[in-house]
Amino acid sequence: MNTRLTILAASIFIMGGVTQATFATDAAPSGHPGTSGPELRYKGAPTSMKPEDTQDVITPKAPALTADEFTRSKQIYFERCAGCHGVLRKGATGKPLTPDVTLPRGTEYLKVFIGFGSPGGMPNWGTSGILTDAEIDMMARFLQHEPPTPPEFGMAEMKASWKLKVPPEKRPKKKMNNLDLENLFSVTLRDDGKIALIDGASKKIVSTIETGYAVHISRMSASGRYLFVIGRDAKIDLIDLWMEKPAVVAEIKVGMEARSVETSKFKGFEDKYAIAGTYWPPQFVIMNGDTLEPKKIVATRGMTVDTQEYHPEPRVAAIIASHEHPEFIINVKETGKIMMANYEDINNMKITEVEAARFLHDGGWDSTHRYFMSAANASNKIAVVDSKDQKLAALVEVGKIPHPGRGANFVDPKFGPVWATGHLGDDSIAVIGTDPKNHKANAWKVVRSLKGLGSGSLFLKTHPKSKNLWVDSTLNPDAGISQSIAIFDIRNLDKAPEVVNIADLANLGEGPKRVVQPEYNKAGDEVWFSVWNGATQESAIVVMDDKTRKLKTVIKDKRLITPTGKFNVYNTQHDVY
């Protein structure tokens, strides 16, 4: 970045009440050898939104862009920026970037923020070397034009992408392999476009299976036979675990970008339906559970819960299957609404709309599987939804930017049954009472606030048979913190946590070595961690003994390329967390 922009950056931040020292800290290296701060926090991903398929809208007062610059800018935006600012640039985790905001700021001002980042979490794309000066100038001009809108993706497009590779009638009538399916792990190989199936006993890779890019989650059918995998590119793969060698039997693309998939679990509807929600277009689709044939698409565009303004891009985040009714419970991110879609009769589908708070993200069940605990991360709240009575039970104030994954259920020695979440924005761990029947005074309140290692926590986990609570801090900018985990003793939560550097135990070479997502085996006596390195660097899975908190084994294999999420079949099938 040139001297003029550096001086401008200082003046902008001083005028905004932020010192240059604070600004410089935000732009400093991450402390992870071989990786930059933006790569650590906001790793870009190839996008299935084709820039040439979006229409360029020239804004008269905006600075000029060539056709090639428009195409390149759209690609950078969809890959690097849309996840936070939204496809239509209306804002979500990141601020709005529409012309009414960007034009008054001007090109030079925008170049500073793109290049240097901000203390509020905007990555320093320029000083980190991710974007060149020319690309930053191009993006600053691009952001002053009206946002290009990607094409819709409807039933015709879904059916065109749908492939039924092995029809149900040609699949095995019984399990044809010797795998212990209940202790099998589906492991995301994020940058390799695959998952690995790993045997929980031998710790060996059974097979790797090609899937969509950057798999977000794996989900199990109610029967435990079918594994559903969805990538950020909105491609779903249906894997039959009964086959002699588990393989994809159906696939479909449900949109341009997605995060969530789930299957029906209510009694009498096991394995009948699957559902997927997309970031673009903003909608969800219900499919046949054993073929992925798309049956019904429902849009999520609508009014926000607070200002009651229309939002054109409310993305679908977490989806969870109700155990109380034949319903899917769907988080609609930007509107702050939770939709309870009854699939008993999808041709006359009833949807109960629950007003919560923005921006809804992830969450999971309490221990009774009645209450859905959902993070509204922009509001710093946990929304508690009563799936039996089909209404909001409470909004609980927690720390900054809650990110629970599915959360962690345990019995607090003082306050009874609780559910916990960590946070991206601070080092607190909120412990919320979840028993309105026997511990009414503690229900839907933060009964404890534990102090973790630092901000940037993505997941925490315990098990009904465990006395430990394991908490990661994957996105913390300090390498010592993001490579370590905190272990709390559930029996004595006033005691400081034990800290273990998981990355050191893996004994890998250079790289960011981010430690992410504790996951238990079926027995609840092992905890698995991914040590997530760069695509060309060695990664590993570290298995810890839950009782002793000591290293049990390290899984290394050249096929373990960028492992992130791990999903034990039994625990995922039965919502054990």
The region that residue 260 occupies, defined by phi over 0 for left and psi between -120 and 50 for alpha, beta otherwise, is beta
Active site residue 122: yes
Can you tell me whether residue 5 is helix, strand or coil? helix
Provide, for the chain, the percentages of residues in helix, strand and coil under a 3-state DSSP scheme, each rounded to the nearest 5.
Answer: 20, 35, 45
85 is catalytic: yes
In 116-189, where do the E strands start and end?
Answer: 163-164, 184-189
Q: Which amino acid is at 255?
A: G
In 81-174, which residue ranges form alpha helices assigned H by DSSP?
Answer: 82-85, 99-105, 107-116, 133-142, 155-161
DSSP code at position 149: P
The count of residues in the chain is: 577
Query: Is 574 labeled as catalytic in the residue annotation?
Result: no
Question: Which candidate in 311, 361, 369, 423 is catalytic?
Answer: 361
The yes-or-no answer on residue 361 being catalytic is yes
Q: Rounded to whole angstroms, how far apart are CA atoms 120 and 213?
A: 29
Q: Which of 32, 85, 145, 369 is catalytic?
A: 85
In the numeric block, the tokens 């492939």 are attached to 163
Tell me which DSSP letter residue 150 carries: P
Identified catalytic residue from 1, 49, 122, 544: 122
Residue with tokens 């981010």: 514
According to the 3-state scheme, what is the secondary structure of 321-381?
ECCCCCEEEEEECCCCEEEEEECCCHHHCEEEEEECCCCEEEEEECCCCCEEEEEECCCCE
Strand 235-240 vs strand 316-321: parallel, antiparallel, or unpaired? unpaired
Nearest to 382 by CA among 447, 472, 452: 447
Catalytic-labelled residue, pool 1, 32, 49, 81:
81
Active-site residues, by number, are 81, 84-85, 122, 361, 403
